[in-house]
Amino acid sequence: MFKEIKFALYAIKKNIQSSAELRTSFMMNIVGMMINNSAFIILWVFFVKSVGVIGGWTAADIIGLQGFAALSYGVIFSVAVGIRKLPDYVASGSFDRFMLSPKNLLMRVATSAFNASSAGDVIFGAICIIVYGFLIHATTVQVLFAIALIILAVMVFFAIALIANSVSFFITDASGVVTGGLFELFLTPSLFHGGAFQGVMRFIFTFIIPALLIGAVPVEAIKNISVHQLIVTTVMAFVWLFISIKFFYKAVKRYESSNFMTFGV
């Protein structure tokens, strides 16, 4: 296991090096993504301005929410962006090379590429969370909560990304339209104003499509120092991680190694 992780880290390092080789593109991607993310903050600040406080959520909480979402998105889709490439790997038959690898299949696939723009998400997310900490005058307990919740949010994000993209083993989806669409069902609500989720909607997006677990719930848990929410998030994160890995290996059994031509028109 230790060897596997060591190799995964080595692969990540190599990926980052090769991506940073094109420095202009690398920097542009990071900066571009940070501007891109700021758009959401602007949007929600305007929202809070015109709509007022909903469900106890202030503009500061929105910044925290965007921070959590961006950070978990960024961590997974930078170092483990191979997951998002699964549909392409499967359709093109290049998944073969991972099957032939002597290392752990899932880790090998996940760390097969690096995405510079998501590094922008990581930086953006980290800044947002730090800003949020200052805005709410975070105590030591809250900081510890935040650290734990960041790890849990990343786990949930990984699990859902893996499940959505593993669907590509069951259907031909070279451009990732279906898996991308499925994943959006999780991502879109996660970026939405957390205070607006009440009742049934809150239940669905916590337990069935765990979108709130990568942003809204962590923010509320930190704000209210809610041990209850922390426990719920922890349990859910481990359950989803377990399910996703099981699902991935089940899906791999459906893999049909195909040879794909590149089509010009």
Partner 1 sequence: MKRILKYFRIRSKMVTTLVKERVQYPVRLFADSVTVIIRCGILLLLYSYVFKLNHGVINGTTFLFTSWSILFYFLFATTQLKYISRKMMEDVQSGGLEMILTKPISYISYRGWSQFGFGLYSFIVAIAFSVPALWLTVGIPPTMHLAIFIPTLIMTTLLGGMIYVFIYSLVGLCAFWVEDINPIFWIIDKSVMILGGSYLPIALFPSFLYKLAMYSPFGASLFVTHTMYPSWEGEWHRMIIIQVVWIIILGAALYAVYQLAKKKVSVNGG
Partner 2 sequence: MDNQDNSIIVKNLTKKFSFPLKDPSSSWIKNIIAPKNKEIVAVDEISFSIKRGERVAFIGPNGAGKSTTIKMLTGILFPTSGSVNILGLDPTKDRKKLAYKIGTVFGQRSQLLPNLPLTDTLELFGVMYDMTNADIKARIAELVKLFDLTPFIDQPVRKLSLGQRMRAEVAASLIHKPEIILLDEPTIGLDVVAKKMLRDLLLKINKEEGTTIFLTSHDVGDIEILCNRTIVINHGKMVKDLPTEDLAKTFVFEKYIDLIPEISFELFPDLPVGIKYLLKDKEKITVSMDVKKIDVRDAIKKLLDLFKVEDINVYSADLETVIRHIYEKDSQIL
- Indicate the residue type of 187: L
- Contact predicate 121/70, CB 8 Å: yes
Contact flag: residue 24 with partner 1 (CB under 8 A)? yes
- Give the residue with the Cβ less far from partner 1, 95 or 192: 192
Question: Rounded to an integer, what distance in angstroms lies between the CA atom of residue 151 and that of residue 40?
Answer: 23
**Of 7, 20, 36, 133, the one binding partner 1 by CB under 8 A:** 36
**Of 23, 97, 246, 254, the one binding partner 2 by CB under 8 A:** 23
Mark the segment that binds partner 2 (CB under 8 A) among 132-140, 196-204, 217-225, 256-264. 256-264
Least distance in angstroms from the C-beta of 26 to partner 2: 10
**Of 39, 102, 140, 263, the one binding partner 2 by CB under 8 A:** 263
Question: Rounded to an integer, what distance in angstroms lies between the CA atom of residue 89 and that of residue 256?
Answer: 11
- Which residues on neighbouring strands pair with residue 57, listed in sequence order? 54
- Give the residue with the Cβ less far from partner 1, 178 or 245: 178
Using CB under 8 A as the binding criterion, the count of chain residues that bind partner 2 stands at 8
Cβ-in-10-Å burial (0-12, 13-18, 19+) of 37 comes to buried
Which residues have CB under 8 Å from 72's CB, separation 6+? 125, 150, 153, 154, 156, 157, 214
Question: Which conformational region is residue 115 in: left (phi greater than 0), alpha (psi within -120 to 50 degrees), or beta?
Answer: beta
**Interface contacts to partner 1, rule CB under 8 A:** 22, 24-25, 28-29, 31-33, 35-36, 39-40, 42-44, 46-47, 49-52, 54, 117, 171-173, 177-178, 181-182, 184-185, 188-189, 192-193, 196-198, 201, 262-265
**Interface contacts to partner 2, rule CB under 8 A:** 23-24, 260-265
